[in-house]
Amino acid sequence: MRTHDCGMLRPEDLGKRVTLAGWVRFRRDHGGVLFFDLADCHGITQLVYDPEALGKEIDKKSLSDVLNTFGRECVVRATGVVRERVPGTEDPRNPTGAVEVLIEDAKLLNSSKPIPFEVAEQKNSLLANEDMRIHYRYLDLRRPQMIANLRFRHALISAAREHLNKAGFIEVETPMLTRSTAEGARDFLVPSRIQPGHFYALPQSPQLFKQMLMVGSVERYYQLARCFRDEDSRADRQPEFTQLDVELSFVEEADVHAAIEETLVHVWRKLFDKKLKTPFPQITFAESMARFGTDAPDMRFGLELVEVTETIRSSGYEVFHNILKKGGIVVCLNLKQSVVKEKDPEWGGVGRKEVDRLIDWAKQQGMGGLTWMRCTPNGLESNIVKYFPEEVRAALQKRMDAEPGDLLLFLAGPKMQTQKAGGALRMKLARENGLLEGKDHQFVWLVGCPLFQADPLTGKLSAFHHPFVRPVEGDIPEQCDMSKVMGISYDLVLDGSEIGSGSIRNHDPAVQRKVFKLLGLSDDAMEREFSFFLEALEYGAPPHGGIALGIDRLVSILLGCESIREVIAFPKNKRFQSLVDGAPAKVDQSKLSELMLISIAEEEEKRERVEDD
Ligand code: ASP
């Protein structure tokens, strides 16, 4: 239908007769000379109807009649000759901007309704609201930014596949209609018509299937797997998302890390023409919590937390003492004058007003408050330094490497809560002072995680990652503090976001049974839900392990997008609705009857309506 796409023409093509097809993005009428910006996913080319420049053989009347039907976003085809633009009207930002096509023949291929929002390239701040963009996603995708996002995602996935294929992995599809098991989040259920009262579940991940592939001797598996989790909607979550799911047999933790690092090295080379430095650094869970206040540390900048519980123990500051008595801790962060973006003329670094704002923020985070001391040429100063003897102040200053102009910020409370608040404070200060700008991406492996976490109130154990992680010792002693048992699991963290998670698995069914039991699964429940899997382990399961990388998150971080929805062609909105097709939706009663289901939601609705009236 066409000789060129809309991004191709250059001055070398002058004089060529070409045919283009695409969407009419804009039209302008300059006193009888008509200009059309013709767009497709490759670019934009200017078409011009210039009656005076046309030869006698061309029927101008019928050509202009056709062109008069060309409204915005109509699909058209035009044939004409490539010519130079009038000097001074070239568009240097557009690769085709030196030329235009003098229209000699044109055809309307399809018309368009008036568009609900602008689809031409524009600033993010001018975009239509997101629900609107998701509702008309096919129009939103016409924006060059969205096309670029999809292309980048495709390039990343292709590069990963390319490497994994070469490294001896095979891509295997695992079922979408699976058994509902009590692992992790809530399942999306699918009723079976043929076996009424029975349900499939959409997979939360291919975890058990990829492990069974290992039992089946597949050895090196991967899959671009769609996963489904019926969780409460949260800012940057999707109920369905894509993982690069990987599993290997006869491996230890380091082998899985290396397989992923090599894949990412290839992706980096392909996408950015850069050499990614490997091996990625590793940090233990405990160290990450202590230094960064999170299990997904952003290590692109310093501003680390330092625990000063022992340093301040001999101070007379009651607020801290009361917390220490209850087993709490005190963490400190040194906001160096040199990193403060807007320096206070009086205080050098952050000013008093700003400190008050930080104190309010800490209270909103559920902390009692925030204690501060500023470093001056005469030592530490603040409204409470009088409670800190000279030697404590000197020790603090030394420990925190505080120099005049620096500000020390202290948070105190129960260990985990205080570390997390410190981590949030660190990220807030980094964002506000531009510490993340222009930094190279930084991967880190989070390792050394516990196998279980205990509910602080009930003591009930839950899996720190998931129930299939192998304990470091291979087994769990009968009598021990379960919260101290470590598992061979790891997260891959990129720029402060967890983008992957994996582990070495229990290949010994007896250990797997023990873990289930410790997690509170009765023999009955274990039999009911996991007997198929436990049985598979009984037929000579090889030692194995793997990982899954969250593709939506990885792509959105690399593109600097605010939300993963920007890198998904047809995402759900924040309320998990698919606005483009209107899912979820009610279905006809006849469909429910066929499945032997009745909906009590309708009754509920009716009752609520009556109550409202
Ligand atoms: N199945 C796990 C998840 O979805 C990843 C893994 O352990 O391989 O988080």
Task: Give the per-residue SS3 of 405-450.
Answer: CCEEEEEEECHHHHHHHHHHHHHHHHHHCCCCCCCCCCEEEEECEE
CA 50 from centre of chain: 49
Q: Which atom of ligand 1 is nearest to the CA of 247?
A: 8
Q: Is the pLDDT of residue 348 over 80?
A: no
Q: Which helix (H) or strand (E) holds 609?
A: helix 600-612
Residue 221: CB atoms within 10 Å:
25
pLDDT of residue 610: 83
Beta bridge partners of residue 34, listed in sequence order: 29, 49
Each residue's pLDDT tens digit, 541-575: 999 999 999 999 999 999 999 999 999 999 999 99
Percentage of residues in the chain having pLDDT higher than 90: 90
Atom 1, ligand 1: which residue's CA is nearest? 207
Q: Which atom of ligand 1 is nearest to the CA of 207?
A: 1
CA distance linking residue 577 with residue 580, whole number of Å: 9
Q: Please tell me the distance between residue 548's alpha carbon and the centre of ligand 1 in angstroms.
A: 5
Each residue's pLDDT tens digit, 394-446: 999 999 999 999 999 999 999 999 999 999 999 999 999 999 999 999 999 99
Each residue's pLDDT tens digit, 24-57: 999 999 999 999 999 999 999 999 999 999 999 9
CA distance to 194, 403, 488, 519, 523, per residue, from 509 (Å):
33, 58, 17, 15, 14
Ligand 1 binding pocket, CB closer than 6 Å = 205, 207, 501-503, 546-548
Q: Which residues contact 593 (CB under 8 A, 6 or more apart)?
A: none
Q: Please tell me the distance between residue 251's alpha carbon and the centre of ligand 1 in angstroms.
A: 16
pLDDT of residue 136: 98
Q: Please tell me the distance between residue 205's alpha carbon and the centre of ligand 1 in angstroms.
A: 7
Q: Please tell me the distance between residue 469's alpha carbon and the centre of ligand 1 in angstroms.
A: 10
DSSP one-letter string for 101-153:
EEEEEEEEEE--PPPSS--SS--GGGSPPHHHHHHTHHHHTTSHHHHHHHHHH
CB 214, CB 544: distance < 8 Å: yes
Q: Please tell me the distance between residue 531's alpha carbon and the centre of ligand 1 in angstroms.
A: 20
Ligand 1 pocket check: which of 224, 227, 243, 551 to mutate, most ligand atoms within 8 Å of Cβ? 243
Each residue's pLDDT tens digit, 152-209: 999 999 999 999 999 999 999 999 999 998 767 899 999 999 999 999 999 999 999 9
Compute the average pLDDT of residues 511-527. 94
Give residue for tokens 């990614």.
Answer: 276
Atom 4, ligand 1: which residue's CA is nearest? 205
Q: Which atom of ligand 1 is nearest to the CA of 246?
A: 8
Q: Please tell me the distance between residue 207's alpha carbon and the centre of ligand 1 in angstroms.
A: 6
Q: Please tell me the distance between residue 501's alpha carbon and the centre of ligand 1 in angstroms.
A: 6
DSSP 578: B
Q: Which helix (H) or strand (E) holds 246?
A: strand 240-249
CB 337, CB 406: distance < 8 Å: yes
Q: Which residues contact 106 (CB under 8 A, 6 or more apart)?
A: 63, 66, 67, 70, 76, 77, 78, 79
CA distance linking residue 169 with residue 162, whole number of Å: 10
Q: Which residues contact 89 (CB under 8 A, 6 or more apart)?
A: none
CA dihedral of residues 445, 446, 448, 450 (deg, nearest 10):
-140
Q: Where are the beta strands (DSSP E) in 273-370?
A: 282-284, 305-307, 329-335
Q: Residue 141: which pLDDT band, with cuts at 50, 70 and 90?
A: very high
Atom 8, ligand 1: which residue's CA is nearest? 547
pLDDT of residue 183: 65
Region of 252 (left: φ > 0; alpha: ψ -120 to 50; beta: rest) is beta
Q: Please tell me the distance between residue 502's alpha carbon and the centre of ligand 1 in angstroms.
A: 5
Q: Which residues contact 274 (CB under 8 A, 6 or more apart)?
A: 268
Ligand 1 pocket check: which of 221, 245, 498 to mutate, most ligand atoms within 8 Å of Cβ? 245
Taking each continuous run of H as one helix and of E as one strand, the counts in the chain are 16, 24
CA distance linking residue 348 with residue 338, whole number of Å: 9
Q: Which atom of ligand 1 is nearest to the CA of 503?
A: 7
pLDDT of residue 208: 97
Each residue's pLDDT tens digit, 490-510: 999 999 999 999 999 999 999
Residue 525: CB atoms within 10 Å:
13
Q: Please tell me the distance between residue 33's alpha carbon and the centre of ligand 1 in angstroms.
A: 61
CA distance linking residue 146 with residue 402, whole number of Å: 47
Residues in the chain: 613
CA distance linking residue 342 with residue 303, whole number of Å: 17
Atom 7, ligand 1: which residue's CA is nearest? 502
Each residue's pLDDT tens digit, 60-107: 999 999 999 999 999 999 999 999 999 999 999 999 999 999 999 999
Q: Residue 344: which pLDDT band, with cuts at 50, 70 and 90?
A: confident
Q: Which atom of ligand 1 is nearest to the CA of 547?
A: 8
pLDDT of residue 609: 83
Q: Which atom of ligand 1 is nearest to the CA of 505?
A: 7
Atom 9, ligand 1: which residue's CA is nearest? 501
Q: Is the pLDDT of residue 458 over 70?
A: yes
CB 255, CB 246: distance < 8 Å: no
Q: Which atom of ligand 1 is nearest to the CA of 546?
A: 8
CA distance linking residue 491 with residue 283, whole number of Å: 10
Compute the average pLDDT of residues 114-143. 94
Q: Please tell me the distance between residue 468's alpha carbon and the centre of ligand 1 in angstroms.
A: 9
CA distance to 243, 289, 326, 332, 379, per residue, from 423 (Å):
27, 8, 22, 11, 26
SS3 416: helix
Q: Please tell me the distance between residue 453's alpha carbon and the centre of ligand 1 in angstroms.
A: 18
pLDDT of residue 479: 86
Residue 584: CB atoms within 10 Å:
10
Compute the average pLDDT of residues 289-312. 97
Q: Where are the beta strands (DSSP E) in 352-402?
A: 371-376, 379-381
Q: Please tell me the distance between residue 481's alpha carbon and the centre of ligand 1 in angstroms.
A: 26
CB 557, CB 499: distance < 8 Å: yes
Compute the average pLDDT of residues 272-291. 97
Alpha carbons within 13 angstroms on the beta-carbon side of residue 165 total: 7
Q: Which atom of ligand 1 is nearest to the CA of 204?
A: 4
CA distance linking residue 559 with residue 434, whole number of Å: 18
CA dihedral of residues 271, 277, 278, 280 (deg, nearest 10):
-100
Q: Look at residues 176, 276, 269 and name the one whose alpha carbon lies nearest to residue 226.
A: 176
Q: Which atom of ligand 1 is nearest to the CA of 489?
A: 7
CA distance linking residue 133 with residue 145, whole number of Å: 13
Q: Please tell me the distance between residue 378's alpha carbon and the centre of ligand 1 in angstroms.
A: 54
CA distance linking residue 248 with residue 170, whole number of Å: 11
CB 500, CB 546: distance < 8 Å: no
Q: Please tell me the distance between residue 4's alpha carbon and the centre of ligand 1 in angstroms.
A: 45
Q: Is the pLDDT of residue 280 over 90?
A: yes
Residue type at position 276: L
Q: Please tell me the distance between residue 589's alpha carbon and the centre of ligand 1 in angstroms.
A: 38
CA distance linking residue 449 with residue 282, whole number of Å: 12
